[in-house]
Every structure is written in C-alpha cells, then in structure tokens.
Amino acid sequence: SQTIHQWPATLVQPVGSPLSLECTVEGTSNPNLYWYRQAAGRGLQLLFYSVGIGQISSEVPQNLSASRPQDRQFILSSKKLLLSDSGFYLCAWSGTRRGELFFGEGSRLTVL
Amino acid sequence: DAKTTQPTSMDCAEGRAANLPCNHSTISGNEYVYWYRQIHSQGPQYIIHGLKNNETNEMASLIITEDRKSSTLILPHATLRDTAVYYCIVNTGTASKLTFGTGTRLQVTL
C-alpha cells in the first residue's frame, strides 16, 4: 500500500533562517506531488506541484522553493524565512481516482 | 472551478446522522463534487465524490440534487471521531486544481 511521510513534524525557526521540509512517498511510482500551506484559521493554499523529477509548478509567488530530486521525494525550502511563512505545511500525492489527494501528517512551522 | 458555499459550523449528537450541505450553483457539467475532511492538526482525508448520481461508501453518502446546484454529505451515525472540518469542492478531476476553502466545522457531541 502507498504511504506518505513528511518531516520534521514541528519546528521553530528564527526569521532569516533557512528551511527544509522533506516528503517521501512509498508504494507508487511517478506520483504527482504537492505542497500546501495552511495558515491559522484559513483554508489550504496550494504552493507547488510536480508531475515528475525536476518538474515544478509554482502557484503563488513567495520566498519558498520546491525541488524534486527523486521520483518519490519532494522538498520545500527557503533561504530566509519570514514571519508570514509560519503555518501548517502539508505534502500530498494524487492517486489513481480522479481528484483524490493523499496527505502527509503535516509540518507545523513557527517563525519567530 | 465553481465556488462552493458551506455553513461555517454545525453540531451533531453522537449516534445521529450528520447532514452537511453545500451549495454549488455555478457548477459546470464536467465538474465533480468532492468531499474531504480535516481532523485537527492532520492532513485532509478524501471522503467521497460524485458527478450526478448519489454515491455511498464505507464512510459516507453523497446526495446530489437533480439540478446539481447543491449536495449533502451524510454521515449516518456520527461519532466523536467525526469531529472535523468538512470541505466541499467542485472540480473537473484535476487534483492540482482542488481548492480547499474554509469548510464546515462539524462538532459531534455526547
């Protein structure tokens, strides 16, 4: 069966520090991968999605970037965090059923 | 994608059916209705989706009106573990275009 994991689960970072969140998927090949962010009390905002290695689409301008170095690995990064980057970050992959997304456990980032 | 309108919050007694409404009056003919839920501090979980016909699975039932302008998600016997935010989304089936709004916060109580 397919599984998705992301880490770290929580982190507290100072403004201006770098960020790296990692997501891996097991049990499937060539998945579509997604990074979402959820600010407190808000809906989910799609940040990036990828249909293959090295292929990244950005949905909103920001100081975050994403990379897909391997088929089942998706990384979210920042060189310098802002206060507004705080939130709950979710990685997801899309399954075979139309419009079905499977989400990871989430990473809660607090920027101080 | 068509927009949806959901109540901000609802309460339901444990063991009773929870009926969550969703209006999507501008839905297009090729758009599906999807339901997801998000339990606190977890990622959203797919529940069910449908195009025109009513659908049922092990989690819930989806009732879509004949004109497709609204739908209702039914949890037949709500439990405390069903307390979550429920999102109604209309989409052509392109996962990258799923838009999660603020949903309905369902509180199941004893």
Q: In the 3-class helix/strand/coil scheme, how is chain A assigned residue by residue?
A: CCEEEEECCEEEECCCCCEEEEEEEECCCCCEEEEEEECCCCCEEEEEEEEECCEEEECCCCCEEEEEEECCEEEEEECCCCHHHCEEEEEEEECCCCCCEEECCCEEEEEC
- The residues that bridge with A66 in the sheet, in sequence order, are A76
Asked whether the beta carbons of residue A100 and residue B44 sit closer than 8 angstroms, the reply is: no
> How high is the pLDDT of residue A62?
77
| A37, A87 Cβ separation under 8 angstroms | yes
List, for residues B48-78, the tens digit of each pLDDT value. 999 999 999 999 999 999 999 999 999 999 9
List, for residues B88-103, the tens digit of each pLDDT value. 999 887 766 788 888 9
> How high is the pLDDT of residue B3?
87
Report whether pLDDT(A26) > 90. yes
- The residues that bridge with B107 in the sheet, in sequence order, are B11
Chain A residue at shortest CA distance from B51: A98
A43 touches chain B (CB under 8 A): yes
A28-46: average pLDDT: 89
Query: With contacts defined as CB-CB under 8 Å, which chain B residues touch A108?
Result: 41
Per-residue tokens: A75: 């990384």
> How high is the pLDDT of residue A72?
95
List, for residues A63-102, the tens digit of each pLDDT value. 899 999 999 999 999 999 999 999 999 999 987 767 788 9
What is the nearest CA distance from A80 to chain B, expressed in angstroms?
25
| A81, A20 Cβ separation under 8 angstroms | no
Report whether pLDDT(B1) > 60. no
Chain B residue at shortest CA distance from A33: B96
Alpha-carbon distance of A61 to A65, in angstroms, equals 10
B4-10: average pLDDT: 96
Count of CB pairs separated by less than 8 Å, A with B: 60
Mutate to test the interface with B, among A7, A48, A90, A101 (most CBs of B within 10 A): A101
B12-34: average pLDDT: 95
